[in-house]
Chains A and B, each alone.
Chain A
């Protein structure tokens, strides 16, 4: 029980850390460092260097996930992804990664990309 309370407190702390990103507080996370960590810590392996997603991981670029949901999932995923604990991915680094993912631009619509718009042509 004690352990659970501790974990709960840790999770709440994380959520607070990351939610501050949205408010662009002075302690704003660093997207450039987030990009570096995204590659160094192997996030790209499943999600792609551009966060585009693929067979092994969801799209993360310009994610619609809230900071809280993002943290919650990284710490306790329910899919194929392994859990990344704070021991290997500290809260501040995770915050930087989230900031990087939010900074990525949305994709153009398929109809606006000539090669994609021709895919279904005969």
Chain B
């Protein structure tokens, strides 16, 4: 954003001198001037005019200084909320806050992170929150900055992740100095993202700011969580805090609300269905928010000896991947299906004709008479315009509430109903599932062997070689596995809550790289080895985040999944071509990222990140990963470019 060095003039100072200034700028009416000069004059300017336009500005009567700007109090409020970091691409509408954070606030808690794009700022906050459990602060312009940030906000909204955004804005026209400030000012700044934020406000006083800022934090952190936006008006930021108000200002106490748990009678009914079921299946979406959530779900599965399934998309680290109850079960044979925070439960229980088309057929994948039960906070936070709420799911029992908060009561309710006969049935079921799990693990290994020495390198080979290098570290995979044919979750031993955080939320591409940087920052204080398997198309949206990682010494291992294409779309175009019975050899047009191939190692190097590649021979992969890990362990980011198979 353009930065214009300017005067520091307070609104009151401005008003006090307005009358005197007005006398200087009053000009004769235009009609009088025309009467005096019947046709346009090309006469040279006078010496006085030249002096006025080219000479130094007249001396000010006194320097414009501010003893304590309002932004200082805003920083008091921000500090009270405990933010570790604030991500921002600098912008003039929040220059007051910027200055107060680095000087008054000492640039600590929050520490300012220099970002190259507002989309990166928000996506970094998105990834950070999924590891840390708390929001990162983001600052942005109310207009162009928020426009840049909007897709990332939508991702966080759909992913039910708390992100806290402060928007600069100049609401008072008398405070705007130039066309830049007029174009960067807005009457209702949050309007453009209100459809996919949880709450917002535009405070008109510092007292108002404090109350709304604290409320916003509480709102963001109450499940269903989501992004919140507070407008920090420039006048409030830059003007001094009035003497009379200084002692009256206070920061309200923050109390995080206990998450909403499901109704007790509904939980009892769910327990009755689950304990009576012969083949229950648990489908987990964004179920586990914390380590406790993971433990609660393990407790439920083990209590019932029921399989936990998190396909087709993996949204969170819900369940240990080598647990004998993970991934098994068959929805088609289930007599009870329990959906836990599944974003589109209808889709999890139905099959459709591939690719939307006229006459699309849909059928339930559950058998007739199967009971469907959901526990979700989604019903507590639904808006109209954007359709991320998915298809309406016809279920037998819908429990509104946070699944993680509801699970302990459900586990206890189940335990109370288990008789010795049911315990025996559960034991036998658990043994069958464990056996199926062992076979599935063997099958995954054998499937991974296909194309082992192929070039481009298979995503299975990439996943295996990476796993063998990181498995003895305290690792955290912070990228989605969907585009990798799910190899990491099929092969690796995930058992900690921070080892997987799901994907974009709304499939807004461009999330991957910045979210990984944010997640790596959250992992840094724990000394974890953060790993990002980075899709090439995603990185190209805003690669400048690599510089942010280098600049702030954020240790992050990035392994490029460089299939040189927007491959998902290529497959869709291929589908369209096959349907139209023409040109099936042309789907690469508009989807290939080749000619020239992008050299991601060189790109990373330009941003100050250690890099290796492009690696095309699979035998070179493991040594390159090993070397990059050494760099990351020294506290720096590293990138290995790997030319890969499509999926």
Judge whether A88 and B445 touch: CB under 8 Å.
no
Judge whether A107 and B445 touch: CB under 8 Å.
no
1/0 contact trace for B238-267 toward A, CB 8 Å?
A: 000000000000000000000000000000
B622 within 8 A of A: yes
1/0 contact trace for A82-122 toward B, CB 8 Å?
A: 11110111000000000000000001111001011011111
A28 within 8 A of B: no
Q: Which residues of B contact A119 (CB under 8 A)?
A: 445, 448, 464, 467-468, 491
B570 within 8 A of A: yes
Q: Which residues of A contact B92 (CB under 8 A)?
A: none
Q: Which residues of A contact B486 (CB under 8 A)?
A: 55
Q: Which residue of B lies closest to A85 (CB)?
A: B581
Q: Which residues of A contact B622 (CB under 8 A)?
A: 115
If A49-B454, A82-B574, A88-B581 touch, whether A59 touches B468 (CB-CB below 8 Å) is no
B415 within 8 A of A: no
Minimum C-beta distance from A65 to chain B (A): 15
Interface residues of A in 42-85 (CB under 8 A from B): 42, 44-46, 48-56, 59, 61, 79-85
Q: Which residues of A contact B452 (CB under 8 A)?
A: 107-108, 113, 116
Contact of B571 among A56, A110, A118, A122 (CB under 8 A): A56
If A42-B574, A42-B584, A115-B622 touch, whether A48 touches B647 (CB-CB below 8 Å) is yes
Contact of B451 among A41, A52, A56, A85 (CB under 8 A): A52
Contact of A45 among B442, B464, B574, B583 (CB under 8 A): B574
Report how far A110 CA is from B464 CA in the complex, Å.
11
Judge whether B454 and A50 touch: CB under 8 Å.
yes
If A50-B458, A115-B465 touch, whether A42 touches B587 (CB-CB below 8 Å) is yes
Report how far A50 CA is from B451 CA in the complex, Å.
5
Interface residues of B in 422-452 (CB under 8 A from A): 441-442, 445-452
Report how far A45 CA is from B584 CA in the complex, Å.
11
A4 within 8 A of B: no
Query: Number of contact residues on A: which range applies?
Result: 35 or more
Minimum C-beta distance from B17 to chain A (A): 68
Q: Which residues of A contact B406 (CB under 8 A)?
A: none
If A107-B452, A119-B491 touch, whether A41 touches B467 (CB-CB below 8 Å) is no
Judge whether B445 and A116 touch: CB under 8 Å.
yes
Report how far A86 CA is from B17 CA in the complex, Å.
84
If A48-B647, A61-B451 touch, whether A118 touches B468 (CB-CB below 8 Å) is yes
If A61-B451, A110-B445, A110-B448 touch, whether A45 touches B587 (CB-CB below 8 Å) is yes
Judge whether A45 and B445 touch: CB under 8 Å.
no
1/0 contact trace for B444-481 toward A, CB 8 Å?
A: 01111111101010111100110110010000000000
Q: Which residues of A contact B355 (CB under 8 A)?
A: 82
Minimum C-beta distance from B16 to chain A (A): 68
Interface residues of A in 2-55 (CB under 8 A from B): 40-42, 44-46, 48-55
Q: Which residues of A contact B647 (CB under 8 A)?
A: 46, 48, 54-56
Minimum C-beta distance from B118 to chain A (A): 32
Judge whether B485 and A54 touch: CB under 8 Å.
yes
Q: Which residues of B contact A40 (CB under 8 A)?
A: 585
Minimum C-beta distance from B301 to chain A (A): 21
Which residues of B are at the interface with A, using a C-beta cutoff of 8 A?
A: 354-355, 441-442, 445-452, 454, 456, 458-461, 464-465, 467-468, 471, 482-486, 491, 493, 567, 570-571, 574-575, 577-579, 581-585, 587-588, 622, 645-647
Given A49-B451, A82-B574, A120-B445: 12 more A-B contacts, CB < 8 Å: A48-B647, A50-B451, A50-B458, A51-B451, A52-B460, A53-B450, A54-B647, A87-B582, A116-B445, A116-B464, A119-B468, A122-B471
Which residues of A are at the interface with B, using a C-beta cutoff of 8 A?
A: 40-42, 44-46, 48-56, 59, 61, 79-85, 87-89, 107-110, 113, 115-116, 118-122
CB<8 Å pairs between A and B, sample of 15: A41-B584, A41-B585, A42-B585, A48-B458, A52-B451, A55-B485, A61-B451, A79-B354, A85-B581, A88-B577, A108-B452, A110-B442, A115-B461, A115-B465, A119-B491
